[in-house]
């Protein structure tokens, strides 16, 4: 069993509201993240250029990376890094636009379900959605 807790955007907003209104009974809702410092931002920047793609994935998931880090990670050669960036709700709109044209169907799928995806990128994704292959359309899908 994992001790990591994954919350949706709506759940995080509810916890923040509970803390702000003083109605929190949950210790998780009362937890305050450490302040974002220049040191933390510099660490995220270093992580983004690490040779290990798993470290770069962690940087791609950060809500506090500088714009140039997000832009560089959107062009990363590793699909997993780009997928993590596509999942990041704090990824800038222009980065999500870039990722909406990614050659990886997985990356594009995560852009499509990202709450922050701009409308024009979503329209592009809808127009270029995967079509059934020719063999499928010829009845060879049995």
Decide: 62 and 85 in contact? Cβ < 8 Å. no
Interval 43-64: pLDDT, tens: 999 999 999 999 999 999 999 9
On the question of pLDDT at 104 being above 80, the answer is yes
On the question of pLDDT at 142 being above 70, the answer is no
**Three-class SS of residue 125?**
helix
Residue 17: predicted pLDDT: 78
116 domain-assigned: yes
- CA 41, 64, 48 angle in degrees (round to 5)? 60
How many domains does the chain contain in total? 1
5 domain-assigned: no
On the question of pLDDT at 101 being above 70, the answer is yes
On the question of pLDDT at 134 being above 50, the answer is no
This model's pTM is above 0.95? no
1 domain-assigned: no
Average pLDDT of the residues in 87-95: 96
Q: Quick one: tokens of 118? A: 């701009």
């Amino acid at each position: 069993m994992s001790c990591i807790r994954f919350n949706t955007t709506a759940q995080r907003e509810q916890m923040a509201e509970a803390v702000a209104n003083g109605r929190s009974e949950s210790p998780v809702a009362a937890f305050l993240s450490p302040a974002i410092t220049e040191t933390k931002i510099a660490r995220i920047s270093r992580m983004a250029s690490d040779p290990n793609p798993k470290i770069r994935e962690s940087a791609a998931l950060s809500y506090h990376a500088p714009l140039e880090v997000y832009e560089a990670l959107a062009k990363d050669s590793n699909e997993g890094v780009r997928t993590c960036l596509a999942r990041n709700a704090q990824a800038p709109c222009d980065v999500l636009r870039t990722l909406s044209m990614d050659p990886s169907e997985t990356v594009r799928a995560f852009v499509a379900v990202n709450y922050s995806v701009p409308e024009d990128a979503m329209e592009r994704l809808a127009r270029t959605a995967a079509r059934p292959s020719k063999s499928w359309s010829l009845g060879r899908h049995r």
